[in-house]
Amino acid sequence: MNEILPYIYYSLPWAFVIGLSIAAVAGVGLGLVWPRFLVYGYLLVFFWVNSTSYGNLAVFAAKSIYSRGSGKLYFALLLWCMLGAWVVARVSATFNRYPAPACNLRPWFWGWFLLLAAHVGVGLFSGVPLAETLAPSGFSNIVWMMPLIALMLLAFRTREQVIELAHFIMLAGLCRAVFGLVRWAAFGGDPNNVYANMNAIKIRLTFFDINDSLLCTVAFAITAVHLFQAHKTDRPKFWRNIEWMTLVLTAACVVLSYRRSAWIGFLLAFVVVMFRFPTKRRLQLTVAGLPLVGAALAYAAVRRLTQTKGASGGLSSMIYDMQSKRFGPESERVLELKLAAADFMSRPLTGIGSWGRYNGYQYISWQNNPDGGLFLHSGILHIALKSGLIGTTLLFGTILAFVGFARRTLRKLPPELLGLGTAGVAGIAFMTPDLLIGTPFPQVRTTQMLAFCMALPYLAAAVSQMAPAPVRQAPKPFVPRPRLVHA
């Protein structure tokens, strides 16, 4: 046995390569026939795998799947797999003569690609390593959003497949909410609990990662529209029960995340959903649902903020860490924004470069590390700092193009597709607070989830122009005609 072990160890890398090759060939074959199943597998990773260990007291943290491969390939291997899936879906669409659906975001994302290429050129000329220019701490993750949007538009081609996607999202949100609530109730909640582990606030969380609350919100939006829209669609009782469970459990999961950005974002998503109903139905649901949601959020806010040092009470407590005292040092959150804004004003047109660090970041406690100065808690200011007014113009242009298309589309969608289209817009609305005071763009999971949400209204619009598949009716039983007997 001891003589065989060395050969087994030496053969393991080859076995891994052979297995990976077989899996790749099988994936290509599957994608050519059913490209949407590649999308399901890819989305499941982002729906289920956490992207941060911040707030976890574990000594050793496993390397995230969202960064594996980036050392040699400059970007995560997961993103390259998604790009390969897009190539397969493009070939499949060509064989089936399926044209790529229209999307007014393409010119804006090409602008992002050209801007990144310009930063690469300037960086190489200035002696900046290519890995630093393309690092997620810049804005390269935005460029990777378009391949996912294009993949989803090519993979789901019929009404039935898009409705299947809505069911998939709903079930994924329900399962994630059940997992979070069970862990919260019986196993101490999310171990990435920065409030309890670092700030001595005695609360348990369902999920600290904002993307889990985003998934719950998207599932909530789909079910809310399906349950309460004026034009009812016939659905089996099983799916109606699933929708009611999803509606309640996903909302509870967001509330018990104890994240202020999730609470405010959920209320914004709730407003988006309400505007999809007629005025009378909107008032009824607002009167019935808003007090329940508001009471739950108020209770959760009181539990967290009353234990938080520096929160004095009232609405101002929601932004306690962004307020500076009359005497003493500046709030670190405010100081971070001021230092970054000063560097932006020094180079307003081009910014400091995708690889740049703002001056004075060492004065911020959470920036005093090897990655210090590469990111800050404001998505908009992050883009302005790294890419100047050029990148800021592209950012607002991308947002306005999406909002304009969504406003036109949601007014015309049929009832069975309205939930999915609304969920995409609700997801973007949910992420608005994180865009303002969070760090969305340096995170692979967050940017890909944003791309996922942006694709949903375009998917719904693309298939809404197709006629629904005819419903097969069971053949009528043969009944012989009575014969007349003449006397």
Q: What's the mean pLDDT in 453-477?
A: 75
10 Å CB burial of residue 285 (0-12, 13-18, 19+) is middle
pLDDT surpasses 50 at 472: no
Contact criterion met (CB below 8 Å) for 85 and 144 = no
Mean pLDDT of the chain: 86
Separation of alpha carbons 79 and 448, rounded Å: 9
Count the neighbouring beta carbons within 10 Å of the beta carbon of residue 268: 17
pLDDT at 29: 83
pLDDT at 327: 43
pLDDT at 471: 47
Separation of alpha carbons 392 and 383, rounded Å: 6
Count the neighbouring beta carbons within 10 Å of the beta carbon of residue 55: 17
Q: What's the mean pLDDT in 340-356?
A: 94
Cα 187 to Cα 96, 179, 183, 184, distances in angstroms: 50, 11, 5, 6
pLDDT (tens digit per residue) in 299-312: 777 777 666 555 55
Separation of alpha carbons 103 and 94, rounded Å: 18
Give the 3-state secondary structure of residue 273. helix
Give every CB contact of residue 403 below 8 A, 6+ residues apart in sequence: none
Torsion of CA 452, 106, 28, 155, to 10 degrees: 60
Q: What's the mean pLDDT in 114-130?
A: 96
> The pTM is what?
0.89
Q: Residue with structure tokens 């929708």?
A: 243
Q: What's the mean pLDDT in 262-281?
A: 90
Q: Which residue has the higher pLDDT, 468 or 240?
A: 240
Q: What's the mean pLDDT in 334-352?
A: 92
pLDDT at 450: 97
Half-sphere exposure in the Cβ direction for 305 (13 Å, CA): 19
